[in-house]
Amino acid sequence: MKHDLQGIFDALLEGVLILDEADRIERVNPEARRLLGLAVDATPGRTLGEVLGADHPVCGVVERVRRSGRASIHDEIEFPQRFESPIPVDVAVSNIGDAPSGTPSALAIAMRDRSAARTLREEISERERQESYGHIAAGIAHEVRNPLGGIRGAAELIGMRSQDERSQKAASLIVQEVDRISGLVDELMVFARGDRLELRPVNIHRLLDGLLDLVQLERGHEAIRLVRRYDPSIPEFEADEARLQQVFLNLVRNAMQAMESRPGTLKISTGMTLEHRLVGEDGRAQPTVRIRIQDEGPGIPEEILGRLSTPFFTTKPKGTGLGLSVARHWVRRHGGRLRIESVLGEGTRIDVDLPLHPPAQEIRT
């Protein structure tokens, strides 16, 4: 019977950890180990604080339960992970055993990984946001495009008819600015149109090499050092080459621009992951290509991180603020994800995860 219980305990999808009355770890199942980052042999006889560090959030919850004597449930506490972003975990702590009230008893801690739910939530709000960009884009295009054509035509006419140089210059300035606005409207239109992707086998390394050379030639980028770490085992995979070019051009350009005032190293790496966040149509994790772009620029302040992918948000005097939102749009259309992580003063890291097999609704050409 003892073995059966241990088997059930180990098979639970929730993390469970049992502490004795002195906070020593008595039992811990594999899921709890994963969430807490515990090594298999690290635990017997040691206290929770010794193993996790006293400042781990779960130690705080345990302490509160010890003090109040009452069970406690917390939503989405962030559990730090050594090499990954923190995992949101629901935590329930309760007294077990039959110690008389007022004396310390054994505790059970149940933990549930909420990353999938959180990702789903983020996906939904992201999709809603993208849809609203589409509506705005369509509205602007409709209201702005036609009058722009009229303005441009009229300015050209004035330019041709007028004799003095100043009027001609003014007229050509109008034409030039109208063209700039038209360009922006065109870019914004990517959100409005539901164009199908043109899928063809793409060699991601060739694609990256092509645009890296291009961006490095731009003014101010000569001193930036490029380091490429490509995983040669990545096969060609179906994607829309022109769209992906746009994605990585925007991202690489941002990274290089971030290092213009203080040249550093731009690291581009690729690899395969079984990313649990990219879930295929059959609900299973699917093989994913990860392209990582890491710069040594100034980093991005926390308070603007959430706004970066909003169209027209820019901190650059001549920026359009469309680069990241357009990049995110095309990555999503490929069934992928784009993540931004940044440390002030150290740099910014962008991960683009693309499924090796694109969503079925995109046609192949």
Q: Which residues of the shown chain bind ligand ADP in the complex (CB under 6 A)?
A: 250, 254-255, 258, 295, 297, 300, 308, 313-316, 319-325, 348
Of Mg ion, ligand ADP, none, which one does residue 88 interact with (CB within 5 to 8 Å by kind)? none
CB of residue 83 vs Mg ion: minimum separation in angstroms?
28
Task: Please answer whether residues 62 and 23 qualify as being in contact, where contact means their C-beta atoms are separated by less than 8 angstroms.
Answer: yes
CB of residue 319 vs Mg ion: minimum separation in angstroms?
6
CA distance 279 to 145: 39
With binding defined as CB under 5 A, does residue 311 bind Mg ion? no
With binding defined as CB under 5 A, does residue 323 bind Mg ion? yes
CA distance 332 to 320: 21
Binding mask 252-281 for Mg ion (x = CB under 5 A): --x---------------------------
CA distance 140 to 144: 6
CA distance 266 to 258: 10
CA distance 194 to 361: 12
Residue with structure tokens 């350009």?
Answer: 253
Residue number of the CB closest to Mg ion reads 323
Q: Which residues contact 229 (CB under 8 A, 6 or more apart)?
A: 267, 268, 269, 270
Of Mg ion, ligand ADP, none, which one does residue 355 interact with (CB within 5 to 8 Å by kind)? none
Of ligand ADP, Mg ion, none, which one does residue 314 interact with (CB within 5 to 8 Å by kind)? ligand ADP
CA angle at residue 364 from 359 to 365, to 5 degrees? 160
Closest to ligand ADP by CB, 323 or 358? 323
Ranges of beta strands (E only) in the chain are: 15-19, 25-28, 72-79, 87-96, 106-113, 200-202, 225-229, 237-239, 265-279, 285-294, 337-343, 347-355
CA distance 97 to 222: 68
DSSP 341-353: EEETTTEEEEEEE
Closest to Mg ion by CB, 299 or 355? 299
CB of residue 17 vs Mg ion: minimum separation in angstroms?
46
CB of residue 259 vs ligand ADP: minimum separation in angstroms?
8
Burial pattern 65-74, b for ≥16 Cβ within 10 A else e, equals bbeeeeeeee
CB of residue 337 vs ligand ADP: minimum separation in angstroms?
17
Closest to ligand ADP by CB, 175 or 184? 184
Closest to Mg ion by CB, 97 or 319? 319
The distance from CA 143 to its chain's CA centroid, rounded to whole angstroms, is 33
Torsion of CA 36, 41, 45, 50, to 10 degrees: -50
What tokens were used for 99? 């110690």
Closest to ligand ADP by CB, 288 or 348? 348
Closest to ligand ADP by CB, 275 or 295? 295
Closest to Mg ion by CB, 175 or 305? 305
Closest to Mg ion by CB, 311 or 355? 311
Q: In the range 227-256, which residues lie near Mg ion by CB under 5 A? A: 254
Closest to Mg ion by CB, 134 or 323? 323
Of Mg ion, ligand ADP, none, which one does residue 106 interact with (CB within 5 to 8 Å by kind)? none
Q: In the range 163-222, which residues lie near Mg ion by CB under 5 A? A: none
Of ligand ADP, Mg ion, none, which one does residue 300 interact with (CB within 5 to 8 Å by kind)? ligand ADP
Helix (H, G, I), strand (E, B) or coil at 253: helix
Number of residues that bind Mg ion (CB under 5 A): 2
Of ligand ADP, Mg ion, none, which one does residue 9 interact with (CB within 5 to 8 Å by kind)? none
CB of residue 97 vs ligand ADP: minimum separation in angstroms?
53
For Mg ion, the binding residues (CB under 5 A) are: 254, 323
